[in-house]
Every structure is written in structure tokens, then in C-alpha cells.
Chain A
């Protein structure tokens, strides 16, 4: 376990070199200094989140078996899921571009890291969820019964994606950024900030 976590930490530090290289590429500089492109990408990101989450709400709530139950699961998915996937695609691409515009700050932002972690968990949940749903939706419709594990998976999905959106919103706040010191050591470890602690000697509460 200890070896795994120190290996992960080394990987995160190594990736910082890549992120620094990324930030020096011409297009990255162009994006972060742009007058129009950055705000357009940012707005598109937010709008595609609305499309993605707004339609996911229908799919997930239907799977709880309590809402929109006059519509079959198969039909709901056929009508709504393509929009969800389209929203996800636009959201993913604009998200990558937003990261690419400001790589170092995003990479070392604590909320960004929390968001990535939540997205991985939400992604695993979605994979499990989607596979089972496409195989069994017709059976559930016929029996008008949805397994309990599917219901909890649907609720997990809603909770996780809500947290992803909240964490994403919080990236804007630079409370724990590397240039805001002093921070507790554990925060600087989580954000992999290199800090000269000798500067803070003698400060109360540190």
C-alpha cells in the first residue's frame, strides 16, 4: 500500500514536468491570453454541463422507478441518452481545452484533483451501469421491476456528478494554490507544491 502510494506520488510529480511543457506550447499561451476564445470555451463548457446533467437526470430518475414511470426505460434511454452522450462529448472536449489553457495552475489545484478523482469513480459507475442497462432494460420493462442495485447505481451517479460539478466550480477559487502560502504541509502535499518552509519560521500557528 505504501509502495503504491509513493509510486503514485512520484507519477504525479513526473506529470508536472509534462504539464509545465504543455503550458509553454504556443497554443496554450494563445488560449490563456485570448480575448474571445477562452470565454467562449468556458461558456460552452458550462452549457454542455447543463445538457449532460439535465438529460442524465431523466435517465437516472427513471431508473429509480419512481419518476416518469409511464415511459419505459428502453424508450427513455433511446430518446434521451444520445443527448446525454453529445453533452458529455462537448463537455469533455471543452474541459480538455480549459485545462490546456492553464495547465500548471489547474494541475496543482486541489479542487481540480478532487474533481478528477470523482470523475474516475463516476466513470466506473457509469460503465457498470450502462453495460447492465443496455443488456437488461427490456427485461425490466417487461416485468416492470428494476433491481435495487440499479437504483442505487442511478442515485450514486447523480450524487457523484453533482459533486463533480461543485468541485469544478470551486477550481476558480485559489485558496489552496501554490502561490498562496503559508498552507498546512498536508495541503502542499496534496497539491504537490514545492514550498520553502524556512520563510514561515516564527509565524504563529504554523
Chain B
């Protein structure tokens, strides 16, 4: 070790314990302030998601003149990393460190990766647009840099979110988890809404300089928020030499062990089917309202708000009921049913021509999505086997994020296929949308069936009633 490192290392041991990033004790009772700090990880995830999917989506196409196909490819790139969540979770479960840390190193590295992606993103986008002197360089330079920045931010989000949820599960007991899940979801939504408003305001008068300030400001804020979030969350748990030298379980073995419980696979299937169904209508509700029901742009934008409001009511209701002992599977199953009822109303709105019916349907879809999301995450946390919490949460996240991505893509493709096949001329313009909505209802009913099979006999009666 070089002399500077040696001196720095000596400084660590000379510091007071107050200044070290370990929790004083891994106590059973975790105060709310600590959970609130941990939820900051989800605030920064919400911030990055809004930036990539919302704000930059528009900026790249309108202000920077980048082709829409290239933009959607960039935005879709992080979804490719989603299946790796299971691996990230397993790695954190089996991480070996003299300090006994399992989650904090991943949170730190994930934050650095997310920060890195955001730091290079504005320059990458400016080079991609061919602005300034960058047109002298080949196109692939900008494309590769932009792809790298999106991949890094995506990977950072996957790592911090997976490990953040695993840490939340480690810290809380079964009965408090529903409230924790609610807190994490609300933080994500709050982070998304607040940053969408701030980004919109800051980028009103667009200049390349402002773009750099906004994205790099987000990068710094990500590091600050995640730093506050991970501070003193994990206690110092010294490992014995035998524990340090013990071989780490391989990923394949861990997966096999996890899947031995038949319920694990069925749980993931239900999560995948349900999330895909809820994701399919995401990009179609607004065009459906405009094209089929003739709503104005301002009205269709309110739809997104109605969907989010329904989601929040769903999370709130699920938090309240689950913390009073309701079954998480029943909650998720009911979410699927409420969602399919909402979609039925959305379908019915077209022949009747009723916007009220449509609005009610949208709120119900949001509500169902909220109940389903909360129920499945709580079930994943509570069903995580000892020592495999990260893997269980990673598998949940991998399935959820991949299914949402596939759902959104599939929704658009199915509608377009129905239109290009000429069916729209034969059956009316609503045909493409109806095809998607009916497929969603079928998927949600299948989700309900799989969820029902996971219930304990007592719960089954509750669900049937």
C-alpha cells in the first residue's frame, strides 16, 4: 500500500464512530427517520426515470432533432438490463466483506454508476445531435456514448432499487412491510412528479448549456440523496475467517434452491402476466381518448393524472389493509379484478360514447394497478426465504421491469398491427384498441387465476367472498 493510502486508512480508524457509515446497532426496531432516508433511493430512481422517459424523450426529438426511432431505442436500452436484477440481488445476498456489509457496497456502486451515466449524458446527447463541432466525428461516436450513458443510468437504477428494497426487507419485520412498500412507492411517485415539474420549468428556455446544468445537477443530486439514504443503514457485522473463506453459492444453485418452493415460480408468473397487462394500456389511453372519444389534448393529459390518482388510492388502500393483516395475494388478485373491470368500462365507453364511463374506467385501472403492485411486492418481501432476500426481490424486479417493457411495446405493436391489417376499416377505428384491451382483460383474469392458486385455504374463502 502506498504511503498516502496508508495515511488515509489510518485516518479512518482514528475517526469517531459518529463519522463512520455504519449503523450503531442492527436493532430490531428501525425508526421512521431511517426508513424515510432509505426511501430517498427511490426518489432518485423516480428522478432518473422521468428524465429519461419523459423530459429527454421530448428534448431529444424536438430540441435536438434526433430521430424518434433512435430515441425510443435509447430509452428502451435499460430494459435489457432488467433480468440482471436477480443476479444483482443474489450477489448482494452472498457478498463477502470483512465489515459484514451486504447491501451498502452495492448501493454505493449502483449510485456511482447512475451518477456516471447522468454525468456523461448531456455531452453524449449533444454529440449525438451533431451540434457544435461534433459533426466532424463519425455518427457512431455519439450513438455509442449516448447508448452507454442510458445503459449506465439504467444499470444504476436496477442496482440501487433492487438492493434498496432488499435492505428495506432486512430492516423491517413482516407486519411493518406493507407500510414500507407504500412508503417506497410514494417516494418514487413523489420523486417523479416533483422532478417532472422542475425539469419542465428549467428547460422552458432550452439551451445546450441549460441541458448540461439540468442533467448534471440531477447527477449530483442522485449522489447526495443516495449518500444520505445509505448512511448508517447496515451495522458492522464481523465475519469469522471461516465465513470469509467459505465458497460463495453459485447463481444457478441459488436460483434452483429458490425455485424449489413451487410458489416462487407461480408468484413470478402472476407478477409477469399482471404487470404486462397493466403496462399494455400505458401508451394507448391518451390516443384512445383523443382518437375514439374525441377528447382535447388538455383532457387526455388529465387522464394520466387520473390514472396516477387511482394508483395512489390503490397504494394507500393496500398499505392500510395489508398492515391490518390482509393477505397480500388476495390484495394482488383483487387488483387484477378491479383492473379488468376498469378495462371493461374503458371498452364500453366507445360504443356508448361516454367520457364519464371512460374516466371511471381509467381511475379503476389505476386503482387496480396500485393494489396489484403493492400486493405483489409485499408478497415478494414476505415470501423471501432467509438468506435469499436479495434474490427474491431481484427476481420480482426483473420480472416486473421486463414485463412492463414488453407490455408497453406489445400494446403499441398490437394496435398498429390491427390498423395496418385493414381491420380498422372493416370494424371501425376502435378495433385496434379493443384488441389490446380485451387481451389485457384475459391476461388479468389469468393473473387472478394464478394468484388464487397461491392462496392458503383460509385466504381462498376470503377471495371468493
- Do chains A and B interact in one complex? no
- Which A residues lie at the B interface, using CB under 8 A? none
- Which B residues lie at the A interface, using CB under 8 A? none
